[in-house]
Structure 1
Amino acid sequence: MPKKAMRRRRLWSTVLGVMVCVLVMVVVAAGLGYQLFQREHQDDLRKADAIVVLGGEHDGREDYGLRLAREGYADTVLISDPYRPYAPPYTSSDKRIMDRVCNAGTPAVEVICFAPNPSTTQGEAMFTQRMAEERGWKSVIVISWRYHLVRARYIFGQCFDGQVIMRSVPRDYSRPISQWAYQYAYQFGGLAKAVVIGCDT
């Protein structure tokens, strides 16, 4: 076989090998992403010392946390408020929602809104740990998106000394494949970051 043809054949073999490797990696990442972020990983509900509503979007999470408290699962609700000062993309609607839920306390249910520092899941977990140390809490219910639960559980495991009961916001999680691909990449990246930086409390 002529040398030029051999070089061309080796080139195509290399290209094909790379394409197969990329395809395998995509399939593995998609399968792992589905298992970690799309399937349900919430825990059974049980009573805890507090309910922690993580920030993200106003998709009913705040009211879900308040409802669980009214049903007797905890008598304190921590609601993350990383949205202030409500500059774009946040709106006056965000402010109205937070004003309402932050003033939803009753004699039976205490509501504490807080601005996490840093304004991330890590900051929320660190604040929860400080509150737990002050009040002697041993367990919390943490509310977030279904696709965020694995990462949030890992971060709270780093930053919070007590038991964590993870609950996903009850909402519709159907979405186009492109949006799931973005979420897989975002959550993988966030999980890798959490592994690297740990929890500086």
Structure 2
Amino acid sequence: MAVLVLLLFLNGASGTLLFARAKPDSLVPADAIVVLGGEHDGRESYGLKLAQEGYARTVLISNPYHPQDKTMKDVCRPRRDVRVICRPPVPSTTRGEAIMTRELADQYGWTSVIVVSWRYHLPRARRIFEQCFVTPNREVVMRDVPRRYPFSVAQWQYTYLYQYGGWVKAEIQGPCD
């Protein structure tokens, strides 16, 4: 029992430092804003807001959702001021989103993107984008959705374990080439 308590303490403490307190990058103009899939927690509207503020003219929104998803129907509609691209990633993972971003960057000549996700997902997403998108000529800016997550201790424990597991998976998979 003491070992389990110690492991949970270490997971909570290290997860808080690595994931919950992850530092987002400073905003700079980019070629596109990439909104990663996840819960509809304001990320889509935040990505569009950043574009409307002039950080990019294109917003790529990962759309792994059901075709009848009301939020995505609204977010993916054509706009006058911002080019919106909504696509499902293949596979439907952060790695799939990074590969999709790379393919569109090749197609449109993007050299920089702003990636939007949960704060606690930023370190793992950064690692995956470093493996699959970043080159000497391409860079990524990581930004978190500006909101708080009122998780219970158990939810945070699960979240940290999930992020650690995803990080290990990314390391095992290696570069996307």
The alignment partner of 1:65 has SS state of: helix
Higher helix share: 1
Residue 84 of structure 2, aligned match among 89, 92, 111: 111
Per-residue deviation, residues 125-152 of structure 1 (Å, max 9, x unmatched) = 0010011111211110000011111100
When normalised by structure 1's length, the TM-score is: 0.81
The alignment partner of 1:51 has SS state of: strand
Counterpart check, 1:98 vs 2:72: yes
When normalised by structure 2's length, the TM-score is: 0.91
Residue 166 of structure 1, aligned match among 130, 133, 142: 142
Per-residue deviation, residues 63-103 of structure 1 (Å, max 9, x unmatched) = 11001000000000000000134xxxxxx5xx221111101
Unaligned 5+ residue runs, structure 2? none
Structure with higher Rg: it is: 1
Amino acid in the other structure paired with 1:59: D
Counterpart check, 1:82 vs 2:64: yes
The alignment partner of 1:41 has SS state of: coil
CA distance in structure 2 between the partners assigned to 1:59 and 1:104 by the alignment: 21
Q: Kindly indicate whether the alpha-carbon contact (under 8 Å) linking 1:122 and 1:199 is maintained by their aligned counterparts in 2.
A: no
Per-residue deviation, residues 43-73 of structure 1 (Å, max 9, x unmatched) = 1111011000000011111111001000000
The alignment partner of 1:69 has SS state of: helix
User: Could you say which residue in structure 1 is the equivalent of 2:170?
Assistant: 194
Amino acid in the other structure paired with 1:96: K
Counterpart check, 1:43 vs 2:25: yes
% identical equivalent positions: 53
Task: Extract structure 1 runs of 4+ deviating beyond 6 A.
Answer: none
RMSD: 1.6
| Aligned length in residues | 174
Unaligned 5+ residue runs, structure 1? 1-17, 86-91
